[in-house]
Structure 1
Amino acid sequence: MTGIGEFNLKRNTSEDCCLDSDQGNVTLLLTGGGRLVLQSTDGEETSIIDTHEPITKASMFDSGNFLLYNSDQKIIWQSFRNPTNTILPGQSLLAGKELFSSVSETNQSTGIFRLKMQNDGNLVQYPKDTPDEAAYSYYSSFTDKRGENVSLNLDVDGHLYLVNSTGFVIKDLTPGGYSIEGTIYLMKIDTDGIFRLYSFKLNQNSSVSIVWASSVDKCSSKGLCGLNRYCVKNDRDIYGQCLPGFLVSGEGGCQKNFSTENCESKDGNIKYTIDRVANTTWEDASYSILSLPTEEECENACLEDCSCEAAMFKDGECRKQKLPLRFGIKLESESNLALIKVGVSNFAEIEFTIIKGFQVKFN
């Protein structure tokens, strides 16, 4: 592979070679021992790439591919085969590989969503740390069994597509044919769990545009609002709403705002009430399913069961749940009724506050 303006980072047999950051607080270091590390100003080193043999050279190409070589000048690692959250033109997401969203635009640690090019030929999105099962997916290319070793590819003209091992394009995600003059395209899974094709204009303004997105529904990403919280659409914006009797926690979801020391008081009186959340969908993690004709009977069944912390009632079925509740979405077309067991004594009203365009709730 060649590249315009290729940059090489080499070392001598026993000497280190390095690149300093603009801020001067961290250095990319190729050590005399053949390790690629980040070195802080206090000398602490963090290995960023583990290879089976010493590295003698590192090269960065105009394509965006970063390559590491051994003493025989053979490639032993390349970034195009180890993507994180982005695919560049000429790069592929191979069968069995995944992209992961970042925590935020300023924190590039692994976030809560993943995009997997499955071995069955299907391109699927899931919340992180869930099985590769349809119940957990929130986007699919529906291309399973369309060929072996299917990969996701991006061309320089913005053509995003799936191709099998014979070279046959089994699905076009975008048509391509977009202008390439002074423009770079990239596909990225964003922090909200949606993957998008972006165009970057290489002009003075460096403008960025969204060319295509896997979904226009920002609530479609399962788990976006965290545990015990559900996503609500409000015109073009969305916000996360806690369950009744819950407050926003520091981890992004919501936690109880009432005591759960005992299920019943000493005189046998139940210390809970049921609050209803209509028109919402949740992960079905029920431990007991009852056939009950009315929601009132479902409420009583949950109140009388110390293990029941919530119940889902729909079409005569009462599904008892334990907390936390996950993947909540508010849908007016959904008839499911969530019945939430709330402590009577210290139930707190929860108000909404707008922070940077995202509506959250505080006591």
Structure 2
Amino acid sequence: MELFSSVSETDQSTGFFRLKMQSDGNLVQYPKNTSDTAPYSYWSATTFGTGDKVTLNFDVDGNLYLFNATSFKLQNLTSGVYKTKGTIFMMRIDSDGLFRLYSHGLGNSSRWSVVWNSTSDRCDPMGLCGLNSFCISNDLAPGCRCLPGFASVNQDNRTSGCERNFTAESCKSKGKKYTLEELENTIWEDVSYSVLSQTSKEDCSQACLVDCNCEAALFKDGECRKQGLPLRYGRKAEEARKRSAQTSSSSSVVYLFL
């Protein structure tokens, strides 16, 4: 019912992403150690509500498809129109979180080639970058950037995340010593502890500055969501356009730093 990625090409232990055939009939990708709920889904076959006997099938011709209990084909994930003579196929969730189909010709010079991806957006997989960092596409390849006022814990390991590059002062002097920097169209997991409605961006910033618990604020459409650290599943909204209404162009996340 569930398939996991590996940590990397060379480390085959359990990685950070999973593919689940749910009891509601939907095939969904999630980060590891999350609930099976919509906020944590970064790809699905959109076949929810089709029954508890749906299966993912993989034919020798490279066709990936979903069957229900009556052997009715609900959906073709791949076209299945591939060269089959002298060719083998493989499906897997790669360490970058994408569900892929590969083909391999049996000739001497042939290599594994990608013939299908679950998504073309390399920043879609939630958790590709570590805590307090966000994913951004650079020439189709994903990269990780730290929040303002943060530095990478380990530059050789993007999942290690980022930590503050300064020592936070007492909250009593917070409003005088700190400023807020705005990151347009950037989203994280919604772990808001307070929501202010019908407010402005300036009022949202001030509300965060005078709140000892507030270290970040998401302002969108007149709503201010106060958050604390650490934040996870960060990415630029244009790289996460299929996820939720928070990906609208009016979204902005404001982060606290010296």
TM over 0.5: yes
| Aligned alpha-carbon RMSD (Å) | 1.6
Distance 1:269 1:178 in 2: 62
Structure 1 residue aligned with 2:23: 119
TM-score by length of 1: 0.65
Instruction: Report the counterpart of residue 92 of structure 2 in structure 1.
Output: 188
Higher helix share: 2
Give the aligned partner of residue 131 of structure 1. Answer: 35
Q: CA deviation at 1:269?
A: 5.9
* Contact 2:132/2:146 (<8 A) preserved: yes
Aligned pairs, number:
245
Distance 1:289 1:247, change over 3 A: same
What aligned pairs does 1:150-189 form with structure 2 within 5 A after superposition? 150-189=54-93
Match of 1:254 among 143, 159, 162: 162
- 1:224: which partner in 2? 128
Unmatched 5+ stretches in structure 1: 1-96, 345-363
Q: CA deviation at 1:233?
A: 1.9
Asked if the contact 1:281–1:334 (Cα under 8 Å) also holds between the matched residues in 2, the reply is no
Closer/same/farther in 2, CA of residues 145 and 293 from structure 1, 3 Å limit = closer
- Please tell me whether the aligned partners of residues 175 and 210 of structure 2 are also in contact (alpha carbons under 8 angstroms): no
2:249 — aligned with what? 334
Deviation at 1:123, TM superposition (A): 0.2
Task: Measure the CA separation in 2 of the matches of 1:220 and 1:194.
Answer: 8
Kept in 2: contact 1:223–1:328 (CA 8 A): yes
Which residue identity is paired with 1:274?
Answer: L
Distance 1:197 1:178 in 2: 11
Q: Which residue is equivalent to 1:146?
A: 50
Q: Could you say if the C-alpha distance between residues 145 and 331 of structure 1 is closer, same or farther in structure 2, counting changes exceeding 3 Å?
A: closer
Query: Whole-Å Cα distance in 2 between the matches of residues 168 and 269 of structure 1?
Result: 62
Partner Cα separation in structure 2 for residue 269 and residue 340 of structure 1: 14
1:280–1:335 Cα contact (<8 Å) kept? no
2:206 to 300, 307, 315: 300
Aligned to 2:222: 316
Query: What SS is found at the alignment partner of 1:302?
Result: helix
Render the CA deviation track for 1:85-119: whole Å, top value 9, x for unaligned. xxxxxxxxxxxx11111111111111111110101
Aligned AA (1:300):
Q
Q: What amino acid is aligned across from residue 341 of structure 1 in structure 2? A: L
Quick one: distance in 1 between partners of 2:191 and 2:152? 22
Return the alpha-carbon distance in structure 2 between the equivalents of residues 297 and 261 of structure 1.
23
Task: Choose the corresponding residue for 2:189, options 280, 283, 296.
Answer: 283
- Identical residues among aligned pairs (%): 56
Deviations 1:183-219 (A, max 9, x none): 1101110111110000011111231111111001101
Q: CA deviation at 1:178?
A: 2.0
Q: CA deviation at 1:135?
A: 0.9
Query: Which letter does structure 1 place at the counterpart of 2:192?
Result: S
| C-alpha distance in 2 between matches for 1:246 and 1:287 | 22
Give the Cα separation in 1 of the matches to 2:23 and 2:55.
Answer: 9
Give 5+ residue unaligned stretches, structure 2: 239-247
Aligned to 2:101: 197
CA contact (8 A) 1:279 1:330 kept: yes
Alignment partners' CA distance in 2, 1:274 and 1:264: 17
1:231–1:239 Cα contact (<8 Å) kept? yes
Distance 1:313 1:339 in 2: 8
Q: Is the 8 A contact 2:194 2:225 kept in 1?
A: yes
Change in 2 beyond 3 A, CA 1:269/1:113: closer
Corresponding residue for residue 45 of structure 1? none
Q: CA deviation at 1:291?
A: 2.1
Deviation at 1:260, TM superposition (A): 2.5
* In 1, Cα distance between equivalents of 2:107 and 2:115: 18
Whether the aligned pair in 1 keeps the contact of 2:61 and 2:89 (CA below 8 Å) is yes
Cα distance, 1:292 vs. partner? 4.7
Answer yes or no: is the 8 Å Cα contact 1:127–1:223 preserved in 2: yes
User: How far apart are residue 126 of structure 1 and its match?
Assistant: 0.6
CA contact (8 A) 1:264 1:271 kept: no
CA distance in 2 between partners of 1:292 and 1:325 (Å): 25
Equivalent residue letter for 2:97: G
Q: Aligned with 2:69: secondary structure?
A: coil
